[in-house]
Amino acid sequence: MTAQIINGKEIAEKVREGLKSDVQELRENGIVPGLAVILVGDNQASQTYVRNKQKACEELGMHSILIKRSAELTEEELMKDIQDLNLDDSIHGILVQLPLPGHINEKKIIEAISPEKDVDGFHPINIGRMMTGQDAFLPCTPYGVMVMLEHIGYELEGRHVVIVGRSNIVGKPAGQLFLNANATVTYCHSKTNDLIYHTKQADVIVAAVGKRNTITSDHVKDGAVVIDVGMNRDEDGRLCGDVAFEEVSQKASYITPVPKGVGPMTITMLLQNTVKAARKSKELQLKA
């Protein structure tokens, strides 16, 4: 079998088209959805991500601000930035780019963001809401994966989904979203014995490890759907995922490439969450 490629770039463009008219409608009602990004330090990868996020906001007609701070910033100073943004009515979404320098407690910072402006979906309140099936801001990467599967019309009910990786940003919440969609979920991670035994049973494999060639054709049953969340570099410096793309695409039914797979979806879902936050703030204004 040769897999069909799930083109994340195309799906992301379609979703962004819809968002563009949502932003237009909100603007006509006096609300310009606003995203604030805080970048601490000068990590190269973070700078690129942040630039892409800002560019995407501007393309949709959203308001976006970037607060750049030095790596020596204290935790108290960062908390003050967040408190100011929590109170700023022109800002509907706040994103603190991770990772933060070691002297800053990430959990404390995430908890300082108002849950109603937590467009990353990392605040424990949003995670709890997601787990209990309530309306919540969903973490952007797993949310993007779900939207991709929806776009290809893949029915998840009763399917066995094997998640490889258990990060707070991707693996753990991805499993929860699949569970909410009535799939059966197995989590695998660095301490899992016999990874192949588990992945071989999967109807859907989500690779979110951060190590290239983690999933080879030996890990995949015929016709499985393979979602690659990895972002790595090969020996020639080219972007690649966690999946050995060439060989796995001979066995899978659907596969996401890297680049142009899950990556463009992550930013798109951030924009979607920010539009949602803006709409909710409008609803709250109307109720008040």
Residues in contact with ligand GUN, counted by CB under 6 A, come to a total of: 7
**Closer residue to ligand GUN (CB): 140 or 262:** 140
Site string (151-180) toward ligand GUN, x via CB under 6 A: ------------------x-----------
The answer to whether 148 and 256 are in contact (CB under 8 A) is yes
CA distances 82 to 39, 105, 106, 242, Å, are 12, 14, 13, 34
| Cis peptide, bond prior to residue 259, ω within 30 of zero | yes
Cβ 122 to ligand GUN, closest distance in Å? Answer: 7
Exactly one of 62, 95, 162, 195 binds ligand GUN (CB under 6 A); that residue is 95
Residue 108 main-chain phi, psi, to 5 deg? -65, -40
Active site (annotated) includes residue 242: no
Active site (annotated) includes residue 53: yes
Catalytic residue among 53, 117, 251, 276: 53
Active site (annotated) includes residue 272: no
**Candidates 91-99, 152-160, 204-212, 254-262 — which segment interacts with ligand GUN by CB under 6 A?**
91-99
HSE-up (13 A, CA, CB side) for residue 249: 12
**Candidates 90-98, 172-180, 218-226, 254-262 — which segment interacts with ligand GUN by CB under 6 A?**
90-98
Residues constituting the chain: 288
- Residue found under tokens 């603007």: 27
Strands of the sheet with 225-228, listed across from one edge: 4-5, 254-255, 225-228, 204-207, 160-164, 184-188
Contacting residues for 204 by C-beta, under 8 A, at least 6 apart: 149, 154, 156, 159, 160, 161, 162, 178, 183, 224, 225, 226, 227
**Closer residue to ligand GUN (CB): 29 or 105:** 105
Check residue 65 for interaction with ligand GUN (CB under 6 A).
Answer: no
Pairing type for strands 254-255 and 239-240 reads unpaired
**Candidates 83-91, 92-100, 184-192, 222-230 — which segment interacts with ligand GUN by CB under 6 A?**
92-100
**Closer residue to ligand GUN (CB): 8 or 220:** 8
Check residue 97 for interaction with ligand GUN (CB under 6 A).
Answer: yes
213: number of Cβ within 10 Å:
16
The 8-class DSSP code of residue 170 comes to T
Cβ 2 to ligand GUN, closest distance in Å? Answer: 32
DSSP helix/strand/coil, 154: coil
Check residue 96 for interaction with ligand GUN (CB under 6 A).
Answer: yes
Catalytic residue among 81, 97, 117, 172: 97
Catalytic residue among 81, 118, 120, 203: 120
Check residue 140 for interaction with ligand GUN (CB under 6 A).
Answer: yes
Using a 10 angstrom Cβ sphere, with 0-12 exposed, 13-18 middle and 19 or more buried, the burial of residue 129 is middle
Strands of the sheet with 63-69, listed across from one edge: 63-69, 34-40, 93-96
Exactly one of 81, 116, 118, 120 binds ligand GUN (CB under 6 A); that residue is 120
Cβ 97 to ligand GUN, closest distance in Å? Answer: 5
Query: Which residue, judged by CB position, is nearest to ligand GUN in the bound state?
Result: 98
- Catalytically active residues are 53, 97, 120
Residues forming the site for ligand GUN (CB under 6 A) = 95-98, 120, 140, 169
